[in-house]
Amino acid sequence: MSKINHAEKAKSLFESGYNCCQAVLCAYADELGLDETTALKIASSFGGGMGRLREVCGAVSGMFMVCGLRDGYTNIDGVNAHEEKMSHYERIQELARKFINENGSIICRELLGLAPKKSSLDMDSPVPEKRSDEYYKKRPCAELVAMAASFLEKEL
């Protein structure tokens, strides 16, 4: 049995029309015990930097979801609860640091080179852009989902 190339799978999922978060989470769904439909639904709200709010990149959100589903903490009041939570957050921050080192940010708006928001009420249209050759040429998203999936492969 051949080893799954998660980066290629995530990129392919994105290029077939799924959002960045869906692409990353779904690339790992089988290994996390999730059926594809559940993974796609869980991640559906996080595209476009969380519902096209252009906040945290969906690829990054997907990366964090995979970590949480695989190694997240559930112990909130046991003997090592604080340490488990801290250890998980350290791992998440390290993944964010790697992504920032490669791309300069984890914020969708900045990764896409969009104008800064004027206020927290300044939101992009909720209407997703039609996927076309032009769309893929102007967006780094396919490469970003592949990178996020690749970081996870090394981390996990």
The dihedral built from the CA positions of residue 33, 50, 106 and 142, taken in this order, carries a sign that is: positive
pLDDT at 121 over 80: no
**Single-letter code of the amino acid located at 26:** C
Pair of tokens at residue 48:
């476009």
Judge whether 56 and 49 are in contact, CB under 8 Å: yes
Pair of tokens at residue 134:
């032009």
Compute the distance between CA of residue 59 and CA of residue 139 in angstroms, rounded to an integer.
13
Compute the distance between CA of residue 26 and CA of residue 17 in angstroms, rounded to an integer.
13
User: Which pLDDT belongs to residue 1?
Assistant: 42
User: Which pLDDT belongs to residue 42?
Assistant: 97
Residues 102-119: tens digit of each pLDDT: 999 999 999 999 988 777
The dihedral built from the CA positions of residue 46, 67, 38 and 7, taken in this order, carries a sign that is: positive
Burial of 115 (0-12, 13-18, 19+ CB in 10 A): exposed
**What residue segments make up the domains of the chain, in order of their start?**
6-119+131-155
pTM reported for the whole predicted model:
0.92
Pair of tokens at residue 81:
């609860």
Q: Over the chain, what is the mean pLDDT? A: 92
Residues 36-70: tens digit of each pLDDT: 999 999 999 999 999 999 999 999 999 999 999 99
